[in-house]
Amino acid sequence: MSSTETEKTEVSSGPARAAGSENKPNKALKRITAISTLGGLLFGYDTGVINGALPFMEQDLGLTPFTTGLVTSALLFGAAFGALMGGRLADRYGRRRMIIALAGVFLIGTLGVSFAPNVEIMVPFRFVLGLAVGGASAMVPVFLAEMSPAHMRGQMVTRNELMIVSGQLLAFVTNAVLGNVWADELHIWRWMLVLATLPAIALWLGMLRVPESPRWLASIGSFEEAFEVLKRIRSAATARREFDEVRHLAREDYESKKGSFKDLTVPWMRRIFLIGVGIAICQQITGVNSIMYYGTEILKESGFGTEAALTANIANGVISVLATFVGIWLLGRVGRRPMLMVGQIGTIVALALIGIFSLVLPEGTTRGFVILGLTVTFLAFQQGAISPVTWLMLSEIFPLRIRGLGMGSTAFILWMVNFAVGFSFPVLAEGIGIAGTFFMFAFFGIFAVVFVKAYLPETRGKTLEELEEQFHAGDTAALRREGASVLVNRH
């Protein structure tokens, strides 16, 4: 039987199945999401675990404010290059194959930092671990976006954000338990770090059973294999319709060379790339990761003891997870632009209040609880609106030809800003104080609001192919108008 006849048989024999699965993922898609987002869990755990490990590392390794920033930010510096290289490698070798490779890098990096005897060994292995974190930040959202149907893309891609904050919460809880039970054991930080080997092994084993992205397969000309994957994760009729769209756009990319930075000389592609850069910077200049990396230190500075700060910091992880659930729910009902605007304004207010109360309240338990309440408020806006929209939009705005390049490059910039925050925060806190540092982040947030208002398009409810065609037509203004009209109609 020919492939065409097979396709017709599949379509004609599946109406009942299609009707039941049109609006929800099938088991294969759920399994793919659960396995691939283990990369997000590792991302979250490895970035969050340093929060509680630092108080013990500072004593055990004799860290100064400078070496504290260096140890913390070495992972972030590696993540920038992991994201940049990961996007290009994923374009060349496939999303699935590179995620499998990342699992191995996660394992090597975790073992290296867990057994490092000094800062000189710790920093290079934190960099290696960062390569895996950055690669996961670029590859997993793209993989999920290319696997998901248009009407579910927001919810599926932001499952990875949910796993990131879940990984951070897991790290905070683990830190609190180990840090309180073995508070007198300086080497307990090694146990905090080494636990990340377990999800790394699970990711490697799980990805061996996951199919490749159908859009990547189509981009290299493997149309028959791409259609077979779509039939596994869609109803037959939907798979046929989506395959026609994918094949239409991918054939041109297959017949030409892979996208490169030369493509950014094309005005419409350059415009998309610059929008992606702006989105990435906006997410980080809120200073969110000063709280995610140094939350325990901030609470200690505000008036808590070490063990109490470790326990109180769990609240930051809990609100991050709960807010991400809310964000996923909102993405199915509200446009990307209004969510990002509200999130940015909310974080600016919370940051300003942290600065004010750090100045006016005396150090002690009262100030500690006030600062904790404000960091929780800040994270509610950040993780409920800004972060989900950021990773979702970066995964969906780039055309297929430069998707890996665009995601990798903008993630590189995101991680470099992250690195700047992570490295400079201990030095800034010592130099201008907690209040001055958070006032600075609030000031940066004003520029983020202006950018979102002026340049961010609305992408909700469109297939990746529809977005590409509309960007190609230069109609980003129409995308913004549609986003505004959606919001007005809902009210």
Are the C-beta atoms of 299 and 435 separated by less than 8 Å? no
- Tell me how crowded residue 184 is: count the other CB atoms within 10 A of its CB: 5
Q: Does the global pTM surpass 0.85?
A: no
199: exposed, middle or buried (C-beta count within 10 Å: 0-12, 13-18, 19+)?
buried
Written as six digits, the tokens of 171 are 């790290």
43-68 as b/e: b if 16+ CB within 10 A: bbbbbbbbbbbbbbbbebbebeeebb
Separation of first and last alpha carbons in the chain = 53
Rounded to whole angstroms, the Cα distance separating 375 from 48 reads 15
The label of the residue with tokens 């609240």 reads: 315
The CATH number of domain 25-210+259-490, selected from 1.20.1250.20, 3.40.50.800, 3.30.1460.30, 1.10.3720.10: 1.20.1250.20
Distances (CA, A) of 439 to 31, 262, 286, 340: 44, 40, 10, 20
Rounded to whole angstroms, the Cα distance separating 390 from 397 reads 11
Which residues are CB-neighbours of 277 under 8 A, at least 6 positions away? 409, 410, 413
The residue type of 266 is V
Rounded to whole angstroms, the Cα distance separating 482 from 456 reads 12
Q: Is 335 left (phi over 0), alpha (psi -120 to 50) or beta?
A: beta
Q: pLDDT tens per residue, the chain (491 residues)?
A: 444 444 334 334 444 344 444 555 578 888 888 999 999 999 899 988 988 888 888 888 888 888 988 999 999 899 889 988 887 788 888 899 999 999 999 999 999 999 999 999 999 999 999 999 988 887 888 888 888 877 777 777 778 878 988 999 999 999 999 988 887 787 899 999 999 999 999 999 999 999 998 888 888 878 888 888 888 888 777 788 878 877 776 665 554 445 677 778 888 888 888 989 999 999 999 988 888 888 888 888 888 888 888 899 899 899 989 998 898 888 778 888 889 999 999 999 999 999 999 999 888 888 889 999 999 999 999 989 998 888 788 877 888 777 777 877 888 888 899 889 888 888 898 889 889 999 999 999 999 999 988 888 877 766 666 777 777 776 555 555 554 444 444 44
Which residues are CB-neighbours of 285 under 8 A, at least 6 positions away? 417, 441, 444, 445, 447, 448
179: exposed, middle or buried (C-beta count within 10 Å: 0-12, 13-18, 19+)?
buried
